[in-house]
Structure 1
């Protein structure tokens, strides 16, 4: 058996350290001699109240909070152990002084204090529970910073699973999320601080990639939406034109037929605007001006005028 361990076990029992300013358990209220005699001669007299139990502060929350403060302040191990020893009180302080008196100075480290403190003041059931939490720890929805803090906190209860820094790095890497793990694993880092830094950078790269992918998807959605709206508008316009054409066709089908004479007049009327205005009569006609040639306005003959035209006479007789 380790002699330092045996001495430490002989110092105190496995009980939590009392808080600063707590009343000792064996303290008694001070009473006068007359009051004592009165109580002894009068058994029915009211006994003085028992001393209050000293307030107990849970050890683990205190230790975890202290370690968290050290992490936030970026304290080095030597500073951590000096600060935490200064917080020990009464039996805990005596236990630690006795322990370090029989342990070689080079073994008294921050890791050594945490290990011995857990053995002394924490039940084995609690340690087993925390060890199980450590073995089942996954990053999940935690950030790399949050996961690293939880990993370090729980690893104190499972030192045998992180016996070397290389093993610690492998376990930390194995519990990272897949997207970060793939980027970090190929580096084969065996320095825990460097590994955490690379995992943090991989996490930032993943966030940037997800942001770019989201913006690209959003841009494609907007483009597809515009194309769909344009196609819908074109379809509506084509449908409206087709309805209009069908309506015109029905109206033309229901309209009575137009005579050839009217058609010819309409066609002549359509051609007339393209003919030049005659400078003699002021009208538009395709042939020579009959007014200028003094020809018959009915048949165009130069031999007679319209009043002598036989075609006009025949038309009147009919």
Structure 2
């Protein structure tokens, strides 16, 4: 603005507010009518808000600065902020560019360093391009992984459903104990209804069952004759023994 040092102090005081304004009013009372030059004002201001300990801390942060998980844009803003505390490290475009480049992440630093750029602006621009390429490649890899993961999950789900479907539900159901027969069975109790224990039909017993007679005829016509079924009636059917009086009497005779 091409103003004198005296006017610079007046302009600086005009923009102070809150804690900074209170600090200046206190400093002005301490110095009384002493004329404060611009150089003196800067020293007092830095002593209050930028002490030497803070300057050393900020300079160390700038020396160790690295991108980390930040984007290139966020890293550049932090770099510009801290570079004010170490002006000797960024006194040329080449030194500033190299220091910024060394703090980039490896996958971004590689494509940038191969161009051997000499200006800070070129390095920042190339880093932004490398970052976009890395993000695009990462998204493409994620899209390739998703179908494989979905197929794997489908295979697991279909396998589990196959196992579930392979077990019949009827096997899991428990039959109630029949009060007449004394054992568990499904459907109508043949002993209760008086039905044939061979075919399940009424009006005849198992010994007179047409199906049983058909089996006897088939066995007789074979090359090897098997024992008659009549002899098996008493051993296999406790129910017929209870229903048929003739069978019961024969058992007692035996």
Normalising by structure 2, what TM-score?
0.49
- Computing the radius of gyration from Cα coordinates, the structure with the larger value is 1
